[in-house]
Amino acid sequence: MKSIDAVLLLDSMGEGVYGVDAAGHCTFINPAALKMLGFSAEEILGRNQHRLFHHHRPDGTDYPATDCPVWQTLQDGAKRHAEEEWFWRRNGEGFPVSLTVTPLPDTGAAGRGAVVVFRDLSERKQMEAQLFQARKMESIGVLAGGIAHDFNNILTPVIMRTEMSLARLAPEDPVHRNLQQIRQAALRARQLVKQILDFSRRQPHEPQPLHLGGVIKEGVKFLCSALPAGVELHYRIDTDHDAVEADPTQMLQVIINLATNAAHATRRHGGIVTISLAEWQLKRHAALPAELAADRDYLLLTVTDHGEGIDPAIKDKIFEPYFTTKNRGEGTGMGLAVVHGIVKAADGAVAVTSEPGRGTTVSVWLPRSAAPVEDAAFNQPNSGQGKKDKKRLQP
């Protein structure tokens, strides 16, 4: 009866559990461990656990058996806990685990065995990375916003005094042309300040209920004549409930910035940029970012390309202001930074998945609004026919 109870207990546990003999060979393993590792029981039982799924470090180099906490416990009989070790699934994918190794009594000829209990830390690590990135972007935003406000206070008298001086001079005066250039440079600087303030979420905006599908269609019209030759733009709206509460102009800016970046990534060989909108569902889509509330309804906006992709080494920097991989004159590096600021101001989140040479998908989550949408520019609701509209546009 006790053995049956023990089997039921092991089978019901969410943590992975397996046993090893004195030589490190697996003697038993529970279903949770098999699911995490991707092996069948027949493939694991009787085999050396270290060589099977614990023989590499995260960088792929060999992990000596003498450094393995399981092996160490088998040698000295001391219980061990490791906050972060590295296991490998059957498909070759590595994942972080926390584990506890408990020694079994030395039975003499059979030697000492051990029981290992481990937990997959992949989801926790992902959430920690998302939280760290959110806090980093918030800190950068506060710093950028403060600098931008101070800079704006300097620019205002420069522009005012320049315009006052221009009004007193005849157009043919040699100084008039110099003042015009000063004014143009100051106005460009003020526009840059606005972009920084959008990124830092300290720029006043006027949120209102609007149909996001209408914003997408308006953005597509604008982009039709602006995309590089050979780039096709498709869009798909898979919901009739597409209302969000945001600033219409800023949402249009999000669409245009993301689609323009995607088009730039595919410009060399041509390709398709796809804008999609759907109601977020856990079973169909990626999990919510850690900073979003699980009890709210969200719309998921994605912009996908099959272009060059993003180098993993720079992925964490792409939302930072002035960071760009474009050549001089092709961009300021503020596009994704502005998108991040606008989306955060709307209580949403943005994430990027990419693989070099295989394209990029930018995902934007926005809270769905139940408030009525007034008739206004690009605020017409989607008809049943239009919700699955798909358009191909070639400049």
The larger pLDDT score, comparing residue 2 to residue 264, is at 264
Instruction: Give the rounded distance of the alpha carbon of 136 from its chain centre.
Output: 14
What is the C-alpha separation between 181 and 170, in angstroms, rounded?
15
Nearest to 287 by CA among 300, 277, 272: 300
Rounded average pLDDT over 356-364: 88
pLDDT in tens, 327-359: 444 444 456 777 888 888 888 998 888 888 888
Q: Would the pLDDT of 292 be above 80?
A: yes
Q: Would the pLDDT of 393 be above 60?
A: no
Contact 237, 386 (CB under 8 A): yes
pLDDT of residue 147: 75
Strands (E), 325-380: 349-355, 359-367
Q: Would the pLDDT of 235 be above 60?
A: yes
Q: Look up tokens 């937990």; give the residue.
A: 119
Amino acid identity, position 206: E
Rg of the chain (C-alpha set): 29
pLDDT of residue 395: 34
pLDDT in tens, 21-52: 988 899 999 999 999 999 998 999 999 888 88
Give every CB contact of residue 205 below 8 A, 6+ residues apart in sequence: 247, 250, 342, 345
- What band does 150 get if pLDDT is binned at 50, 70 and 90? confident
pLDDT of residue 2: 47
| pLDDT averaged over every residue in the chain | 79
- Output the six-digit token pair for 330: 């092709």
What is the C-alpha separation between 113 and 102, in angstroms, rounded?
9
